[in-house]
Structure 1
Amino acid sequence: MGGDVVRPEPRQEPAPLTRHLRVRQDRGATVLEFHGEIDIAAATEIGPHLDRVTHQPGARVVIDLRHIEFFDCSGLRLLYRARARVLERGGQLHLVCTHPLTLRVLRVTGLTRLLPPRPTVDAALEQPEATSGSW
């Protein structure tokens, strides 16, 4: 009978779908972690996976940019497209970003008004709903 010890399961790292994308579930939301350099080649890899997730009616999606090293206009297009698709289907989209240069790009392009970045996935998931600012 002895003392069976119940150990918590180790936190599983999300499985990479591509070199630039890992996807996991967290509290009913799909968390998309972008990794590395998000340029046109990466956007081409990420796009179909992002479209699949954002096509679901009522989807709760978090895009996590904390693991990126570079982010250009291709990455911005991914964010704008994801936001439009999620909102069209009554869902929620949240953004996680802490890198100063990426935050500056988001601010200069006005994206921070539409998708206010949060410092962590926890902070993003505490938000009641996605920002619905106009284009």
Structure 2
Amino acid sequence: MTPDADDRTPRPTESVTPDPSRFVPPPANAHARTRRCGPFTVVEVMGEVDLATAASVAEHLDAATGRPESDVLVDLRRVEFFDCSGLRVLCRAETRARERGGRLRVVSAAPRLRRLLLGAGLLDRFPPLPGIPGEGG
């Protein structure tokens, strides 16, 4: 404890209500968001998925695959970069969904993702869908 620690401890008579002008809300997850689309839970992933960002994507996938018989689509159409960290997160989430009687599929028409899945031996496990079934456009 530093000598000035007592100066920072609120006194019983002091207000501990946060000053709204100093409140900074936590940042939103800039790498993924989850939505419903008919019978599917869609996890939209965007930007770069690498070692630094995979945990943000995993948060959404963990929530989406946590329910029994979930049908999860991982929309990777807005992903600019995807490496083995992203593959690890996908494999873990797909296993979790399958263990609960559900499934997980990826949505992407990007040749680079197809090459990555092929090179990793995962193309049969994750054959990419070109779009979200039933969604126009």
Q: Which TM-score band applies after superposition, normalised by the shorter structure?
A: 0.7 to 0.9
In structure 2, what is the equivalent of residue 39 of structure 1? Answer: 50
TM-score by length of 2: 0.74
Question: How is 1:70-109 mapped onto 2 (pairs within 5 angstroms)?
Answer: 70-109=81-120
Q: Distance in 1 between matches of 2:94 and 2:59?
A: 15
User: Identity of counterpart residues, as a percentage?
Assistant: 44
Q: Distance in 1 between matches of 2:121 and 2:48?
A: 21
Larger Rg: 2
Question: How is 1:51-62 mapped onto 2 (pairs within 5 angstroms)?
Answer: 51-62=62-73
Structure 1: give runs of 5+ residues left out of the alignment: 1-16, 125-135
Q: CA deviation at 1:46?
A: 1.7
Report the 3-state secondary structure (helix = DSSP H, G, I; strand = E; otherwise coil) of the residue aligned with 1:95.
Answer: strand
Q: Could you list the runs of 4 or more consecutive aligned residues of structure 1 that deviate by over 2 angstroms after TM superposition?
A: none
Report the 3-state secondary structure (helix = DSSP H, G, I; strand = E; otherwise coil) of the residue aligned with 2:64.
Answer: helix
Partner letter of residue 124 of structure 2? R
Structure 2: give runs of 5+ residues left out of the alignment: 1-27
The count of aligned residue pairs is 108
Greater displacement, 72-81 / 115-124: 115-124
Report the 3-state secondary structure (helix = DSSP H, G, I; strand = E; otherwise coil) of the residue aligned with 2:101.
Answer: coil
In structure 2, what is the equivalent of residue 67 of structure 1? Answer: 78
Which structure's residues are more often strand, by fraction? Answer: 1
Partner letter of residue 58 of structure 2? G
Root-mean-square deviation (Å): 1.6
Report the 3-state secondary structure (helix = DSSP H, G, I; strand = E; otherwise coil) of the residue aligned with 1:23.
Answer: strand
Per-residue CA deviation, residues 47-106 of structure 1 (Å, 9 max, x unaligned), is: 122112111111110001110000011100011011100000000211111111111001
TM-score by length of 1: 0.75
In structure 1, what is the equivalent of residue 130 of structure 2? Answer: 119
Report the 3-state secondary structure (helix = DSSP H, G, I; strand = E; otherwise coil) of the residue aligned with 1:58.
Answer: coil
